[in-house]
């Protein structure tokens, strides 16, 4: 039973100095410190349950998101959890339509990241308390702006159709897990030796799908792609990620040169806002057998709708912390099904794997009913800071067992990495001063 009035919301700036090892680096983000705005909500229910929510950020960006979470807090505080989830669509709309904050969005950038952190905490708490049926799930989705491609009834039909074989898919997930790919071998800041060593380890661990960062320097890309393709062989799957580095013609030209390494997709070839640019690139790359993947920096469901309408992507990459939590991710997953486009989530960062595993396993069991051309990103950093870290077996995500959204961090980790007073940062700052 849903219970409790929210009496406290806290938000902390948690940062990990990943840039020191080049982890997470790409053609645009050369010094990322993987970070999170970490939200905890508590109720007066007296059951000891707290809702934990995160959104993924990079270093300094976190302090801005923390401010936005504080600015949104009044929407949640002193509310009954039952009233929130009883009209979750309305509550989602209230948060994303705040009359003063929407001016600095709307539904994009810092306020939307903050919305994700807050709502992820609500979902975590709700999920710890009880399960959900299809009608309840649909009642959480704000269909405003997308009814031209997906109505609530369309969505209901999709969920109903996917009832067939659901039990078997559940069993399959419990036994084999959801297929994953790794990005951990080939960050742009890694030396060739690190790349080779990580790749060899990944192969030994059974990985068959790999992503490599590209986009800063063509000759360098050619060398690194050759290196990784030689190591993994012709049969294994290779993806490339340019993190928005190119103009549209440049993307086509660059990928024509990298086509010999047989990538399945090029990810974020250009500005994430350029829907028609993505469509042009997609069309040009069809003869080369390369698809376009994007989504990790897609602001909201409207952009995804247009990408789908414009045939601008072949792989759709939801992000559990960029979209407005489970509510908005559900709408995008359902639209992708309607357009027959596979969802291959963005993960990694801080806790993105932990969160998105819930969404993608739900997609398979209850929506898409297919694994064709589908896989979820995996990055092997920072899981040790979570109370319920992901379990990977044979390059697959095994379904999480604990109730909730797997968002809870270890208090000890949060304390140590809280910025700037945590011991990790105090030590780094002292070393910097000396």
Ligand X SMILES: C[C@H](O)[C@@H](O)CC(=O)C(=O)O
Nearer to Mg ion, 214 or 409 (CB): 214
| Nearer to ligand X among residue 13 and residue 296 (C-beta) | 296
The answer to whether residue 75 is catalytic is no
Residue 348 touches which of ligand X, Mg ion, none (Cβ within 5-8 Å per kind) = ligand X
Residues 203-242 that bind Mg ion (CB under 5 A): 241
Contacts of residue 334, Cβ cutoff 8 Å, sequence gap at least 6: 141, 150, 154, 155, 158, 367
CB 109 to ligand X: min, Å: 16
Alpha-carbon gap, residue 178 to 169, rounded angstroms? 10
Chain mean position to CA 21: 22
Interface positions, 240-269, toward Mg ion (CB under 5 A): 241, 267
Closer to ligand X at the Cβ: 142 or 296? 296
Smallest gap from Cβ 272 to Mg ion, in A, equals 10
With respect to ligand X, which residue has the nearer C-beta, 183 or 396? 183
Say whether the peptide bond before residue 114 is cis (omega within 30 degrees of 0): no
Q: Which parts of this chain interact with ligand X (CB under 6 A)? A: 24, 26, 29, 32, 183, 241, 243, 296, 346, 348, 377
Backbone angles phi, psi at 118, to 5 degrees: -65, -50
Q: Contact, 406 vs 355, CB < 8 A?
A: yes
Question: Which residue is closest to Mg ion by CB?
Answer: 241
- Of 296 and 363, the one with the shorter C-beta distance to ligand X is 296
**Rounded to the nearest whole angstrom, what is the least distance from the CB of residue 245 to ligand X in the complex?**
11
**CB under 5 to 8 A by kind: which of Mg ion, ligand X, none does 183 bind?**
ligand X
Tokens for 107, please give them.
């539904």
Residues of this chain, 269-298, that bind Mg ion according to CB under 5 A: 296
Looking at the Cβ atoms of 27 and 252, the one nearer to ligand X is: 27
Least distance to ligand X from the beta carbon of 25, Å? 7
CB of 18 to ligand X, least distance (A): 8
Check 346, 381, 385, 417 and give the catalytic one. Answer: 346
CB of 59 to Mg ion, least distance (A): 18
Active site residue 346: yes
Q: Given 213, 299, 358, 385, which residue is catalytic?
A: 213
Tell me the number of residues near Mg ion by CB under 5 A: 3
Give the largest CA-CA distance in the chain.
65
Catalogue the active-site residues. Answer: 213, 346
The footprint of Mg ion (CB under 5 A) covers 241, 267, 296
């Amino acid at each position: 039973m849903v219970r409790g009035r929210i009496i406290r919301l806290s938000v902390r700036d948690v940062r990990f100095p990943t840039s020191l090892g080049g982890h997470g680096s790409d053609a645009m983000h050369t010094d990322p410190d993987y970070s999170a705005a970490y939200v905890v909500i508590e109720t007066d229910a007296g059951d000891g349950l707290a809702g934990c929510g995160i959104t993924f950020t990079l270093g300094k960006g976190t302090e801005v998101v923390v401010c936005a979470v504080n600015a949104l807090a009044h929407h949640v505080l002193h509310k009954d959890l039952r009233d929130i989830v009883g009209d979750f669509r309305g509550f989602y709309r209230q948060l994303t339509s705040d009359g003063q904050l929407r001016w600095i969005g709307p539904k994009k950038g810092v306020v939307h990241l903050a919305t994700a952190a807050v709502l992820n905490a609500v979902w975590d708490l709700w999920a710890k308390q009880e399960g959900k049926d299809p009608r309840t799930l649909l009642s959480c989705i704000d269909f405003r702006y997308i009814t031209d491609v997906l109505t609530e009834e369309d969505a209901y039909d999709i969920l109903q159709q996917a009832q067939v074989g659901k039990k078997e898919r559940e069993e399959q997930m419990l036994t084999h897990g959801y297929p994953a790919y790794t990005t951990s071998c080939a960050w742009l800041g890694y030396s060739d030796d690190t790349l080779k060593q990580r790749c060899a380890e990944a192969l030994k661990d059974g990985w068959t799908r790999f992503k490599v960062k590209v986009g800063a320097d063509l000759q360098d890309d050619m060398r690194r792609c050759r290196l990784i393709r030689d190591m993994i062989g012709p049969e294994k799957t290779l993806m490339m990620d340019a993190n928005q580095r190119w103009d549209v013609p440049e993307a086509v030209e660059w990928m024509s040169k990298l086509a010999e390494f047989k990538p399945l997709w090029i990810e974020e070839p250009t500005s994430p806002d350029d829907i028609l640019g993505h469509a042009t690139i997609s069309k040009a790359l069809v003869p080369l057998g390369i698809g376009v993947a994007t989504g990790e920096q897609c602001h909201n469901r409207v952009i995804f709708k247009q990408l789908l309408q414009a045939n601008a992507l072949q792989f759709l990459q939801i992000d559990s912390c960029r979209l407005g939590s489970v509510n908005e991710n559900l709408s995008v997953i359902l639209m992708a099904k309607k357009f027959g486009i596979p969802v291959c989530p963005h993960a990694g960062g801080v806790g993105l794997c932990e969160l998105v595993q819930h969404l993608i396993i739900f997609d398979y069991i209850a929506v898409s009913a297919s694994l064709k051309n589908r896989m979820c990103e995996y990055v092997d950093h920072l899981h040790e800071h979570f109370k319920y870290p992901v379990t990977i077996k044979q390059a697959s995500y095994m379904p999480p067992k604990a109730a909730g959204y797997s968002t809870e961090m270890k208090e000890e980790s949060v304390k140590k990495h809280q910025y700037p007073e945590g011991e990790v940062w105090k030590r780094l700052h002292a070393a910097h001063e000396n």
